[in-house]
Amino acid sequence: MSPVLAGVLQVLALIAALALAYRPLGDYMARVYSSEKHLRVEKWIYKGIGANPNAEMRWTAYLRGVLAFSAVSVLFLYLMQRVQGSLPGSLGFRSIDPDQAFNTAASFVANTNWQSYYGEQAMGHVVQTGGLAVQNFVSAAVGIAVAVALVRGFARSRTGELGNFWADLVRGTVRILIPIAVVGALVLVACGAIQNFAGIHEVGQFTGGTQQWNGGAVASQEAIKELGTNGGGYFNANSAHPFENPNAFSNLFEVFLILVIPFALTRTFGKMVGSIKQGYAILATMATIWVGFIALMMWTEFAHHGPAFDLAGGAMEGKENRFGIGGTSIFAVSTTLTSTGAVDGFHSSLTGLGGGITMLGMQLGEIAPGGTGSGLYGMLIMAIIAVFIAGLMVGRTPEYLGKKIGTREIKFAACYILITPALVLVFTALSMALPTPKDSMLNGGAHGFSEILYAFTSGANNNGSAFAGLSADTNWFNTTIGLAMLLGRFLPMVFVLALAGSLAEQKPIPETAGTLRTQKPLFTGLLVGTILIITGLTYFPALALGPLAEGLA
pLDDT in tens, 383-408: 999 999 998 887 777 899 999 999 99
Q: What is the DSSP string of 59-113?
A: HHHHHHHHHHHHHHHHHHHHHHHHTGGGSTT-TTPPPPPHHHHHHHHHHHHTT--
More confident residue, 372 or 200: 372
Cis omega (within 30 of 0) for bond into 179 = no
The pLDDT of residue 309 is 66
- Residues sharing a CB contact under 8 Å with residue 504, sequence separation 6 or more, in sequence order: 59, 152, 153, 156, 157, 159, 160, 161, 162
Closest CA to 83 of 99, 95, 98: 95
- Report the relative pairing of strands 210-214 and 399-400 from DSSP bridges: unpaired
Say which DSSP state 201 is in.
E
Residue-level pLDDT at 170: 97
CA distances from 267 to 30, 68, 149, 358 (A): 8, 30, 15, 26
DSSP output for 384-451: HHHHHHHHHHHT---EETTEE--HHHHHHHHHHHHHHHHHHHHHHHHHHHSHHHHTTBSS-HHHHHHH
Specify the range with the lowest mean pLDDT, choosing from 56-65, 208-217, 481-490: 208-217
The pair phi, psi for residue 161, each rounded to 5°, is: -85, 135
Average pLDDT over residues 461-488: 87
Please check the confidence at residue 306 and state whether its pLDDT lies above 70.
no
**Within a domain: 77:** no
**Mean local confidence (pLDDT), 496-518:** 89
CB 482 within 8 A of CB 244: no
Residue 9's pLDDT band (boundaries 50, 70, 90)?
A: very high
Check residue 75 and give its pLDDT.
Answer: 97
Give the separation between CA 352 and CA 300, rounded to whole angstroms: 9
Taking residues 353-371, what's their average pLDDT?
90
| Residue 485 pLDDT grade (very low, low, confident, very high; cuts 50, 70, 90) | very high
Looking at mean pLDDT, say which of 105-114, 199-208, 307-316 comes out highest.
105-114
Task: Give the pLDDT of residue 436.
Answer: 78
* Separation between Cα atoms, residue 27 and residue 268, nearest integer Å: 6
Domain containing residue 479: 372-552
Task: Say which residue, 324 or 165, is predicted with more confidence.
Answer: 165
Q: Going along 135-249, which residue ranges are E strands?
A: 200-204, 210-214
Per-residue pLDDT, averaged over 269-277, amounts to: 95
pLDDT value at 410 more than 90: yes
- pLDDT of the residue at 304: 61
Residue 317 belongs to a domain: no
475 within some domain? yes
- Calculate mean pLDDT across residues 509-528: 88
468 in a domain, yes or no?
yes
In a domain, 539, yes or no: yes
The SS3 assignment for 508 reads coil
Looking at the chain, the whole-number percentage of residues with pLDDT higher than 90 is 64
Round the average pLDDT of the chain to a whole number and report it.
90
Average pLDDT rounded to a whole number, residues 141-153: 97
Dist. CA 111–CA 131, nearest whole Å: 13
- Asked if the model's pLDDT at residue 305 lies above 80, the reply is no
Q: Give the separation between CA 113 and CA 463, rounded to whole angstroms.
A: 7
Closest by CA position to 256, among listed 145, 340, 192, 324: 340
| Strand, coil or helix: 161 | strand
How confident is residue 44, by pLDDT bands cut at 50, 70 and 90?
A: very high
Q: Is the pLDDT of residue 351 over 70?
A: yes
SS3 159: coil
Most confident of 207-216, 478-487, 540-549: 478-487
Task: Flag whether 310 is in a domain.
Answer: no
Tens of pLDDT along 177-212?
Answer: 999 999 999 999 999 999 988 877 777 777 777 777
Running DSSP on this structure, what letter comes out for residue 208?
A: S
What does each C-alpha distance from 92 to 79, 120, 245, 440, 516 come to in angstroms? 18, 12, 26, 28, 62
Q: What is the pLDDT of residue 65?
A: 96
Any domain includes 83:
no
Length of the chain: 553
Other C-beta atoms closer than 10 Å to the C-beta of 492 total: 24
Is residue 86 within 8 Å of 442, Cβ to Cβ?
A: no
Query: Strands 210-214 and 200-204: what pairing?
Result: antiparallel
Indicate whether 258 belongs to any domain.
no
Q: Which of 357, 487, 467, 480 is nearest to 418 (CA)?
A: 487
Structural domains of the chain, count:
1
Contact 148, 271 (CB under 8 A): no
